[in-house]
Amino acid sequence: MTMAASRHVLLVTDAFPPISGGSGWSTYELARGLRAHGDRVTVLRPRPGTPAGLRVVADAFDGFDVHELGGPSPPIPFVRNYVKNERLAQRLAPVVRDLVRERAIDVVHGQHLLSIPGAIAGAHAADVPVVATIRDYWPVCYWSDLIHDRSSATLCPACSAGMMTRCVRAHAGPGWPAALPAIPYMRANLRWKAGRLAEADAIVAVSAVMARDLVARAPALAGRRVEVIPNPVDVATLDAAARAARPASLADIAGPYAIYVGKLAFNKGVQHLVPAALAAKLTWPLVVVGDGPDRAGLEHAARTAGLDVRFTGWLDRSATLAHVAHAALLVFPSHGPESLSRVLLEAGGLGVAVAAMETGGTRDVIVPGETGLLSTSPAGLAADVARLVADPALRGRLGAAAKARVRATFATAAVVARVGALYDALIAGRRGRG
């Protein structure tokens, strides 16, 4: 379907401008792609924890028309969640409605947990279609990651009262009994989120697994329009990273190195990094780009094992991409259900071979044995790392195929064409009903 000449799109997002995190960059790439097509883009961002009120952001990021809605974020667990969810949606909806009417918005597109419920309500109040993009499991998991217990290798099967008791115990620590009275609110909050999401004109899941899991875990979404459209990747940015010199911080590494990029937390599987490197007998340096609550433990494990592991902390995007572009392989040990990892998309677009755990939407990016290696266990991940280290021809073949696949399927222009076609169908349908 050919996209219409021009639309005015209101993107309602928790993260703009992007600073870190794949979801923020994915929203930014969508905004840039729409603008490049000729669409007008207005951005609305709720910012809990800032002074209350709506304000236009002066000198907004990359010239976009950005509005921010400030409001409270009390430091009390569960109360904070209520204020940033149910209460924020009530405050956000009339702001969306008024922006739609004042600026002749054609379609509203909610991007994240905090922004989607209010975006849907406000769009309906203004009688324009609304799309919601889902990038994690917030409609079906209070913690958004389906991880109920660090000692378990399996993900939460369903959000029953019993399973919620287990995950409260894991998240609240020694004081978990005091949190048990909050379970009725937590369950009601999930029903509310799924119910609000079901009111969108279309739901975009960024991977096939995400689409399947949403419908399976949330009865309210049965029969709703769910489209699988991936996150976009800017190929020009990847090409610039590929041309950049090797980062000066890696000047002492004469040969190849492996890399991990992401938050240093349990759901990212960092607990498997050092054991996998040891089992693979990795003699290359392992560069770890990122930070998080498990960094100290990871550093201790690396020292104890005698491995050459370099911790950079968080880097800006250009530096991160430069580190990835010059790596010989990327290790992706994720434990949680990745919806569609931006790290995998960018590594693939740079032609870097990947050894990954199969989780969530990873298979949407990696075709096993063609564009990367997939494993279902830490032992399998270690074997794949060892295989890639020992076989430069395999690394080259997988990297080249991954590069071609990412650029054909996930490039911004291709993704924006699919999003635009969805917009056009919804706009035409709304006008036809009118």
Per-residue pLDDT tens digits for 164-194: 898 888 888 888 898 899 999 999 999 999 9
Site of tokens 């399927």: 409
Query: Residue 166: its pLDDT value, please?
Result: 87
Beta strands in 49-105 (DSSP E): 50-56, 65-71
Beta strands in 40-194 (DSSP E): 40-48, 50-56, 65-71, 107-110, 130-134
Peptide bond into 17 cis (omega under 30): yes
Instruction: Give the pLDDT band (50/70/90) at residue 434.
Output: low
In angstroms, the CA 172 to CA 170 distance is: 6
Q: What is the three-class DSSP state of 134?
A: strand
Amino acid at 417: A
Mean predicted lDDT score pLDDT of the chain = 93
Q: Are strands 107-110 and 40-48 parallel, antiparallel or unpaired?
A: unpaired
Residue 1 has pLDDT above 50, yes or no: no
Residue 3 has pLDDT above 60, yes or no: no
Give percent of the chain above pLDDT 70: 98
| R_g over Cα of the chain | 22
Q: What is the three-class DSSP state of 240?
A: helix
All structural domains of the chain, each given as residue ranges with its CATH number in brackets, are 8-232+411-433 (3.40.50.2000), 235-409 (3.40.50.2000)
Query: Residue 23: its pLDDT value, please?
Result: 86
In angstroms, the CA 196 to CA 12 distance is: 15
Q: Are 260 and 315 in contact (CB under 8 A)?
A: no
- Bridge partner list, 56: 67
In angstroms, the CA 197 to CA 288 distance is: 36
Site of tokens 């991409």: 321
Instruction: Phi first, then psi: give them for residue 71, nearest 5 degrees.
Output: 175, 180
pLDDT per residue as tens digits for the range 355-404: 999 998 999 999 999 999 999 999 999 999 999 999 999 999 999 999 99
In angstroms, the CA 86 to CA 31 distance is: 27
**pTM given for the model:** 0.93
Question: Positive or negative, the Cα torsion across 407, 410, 411, 414?
Answer: positive
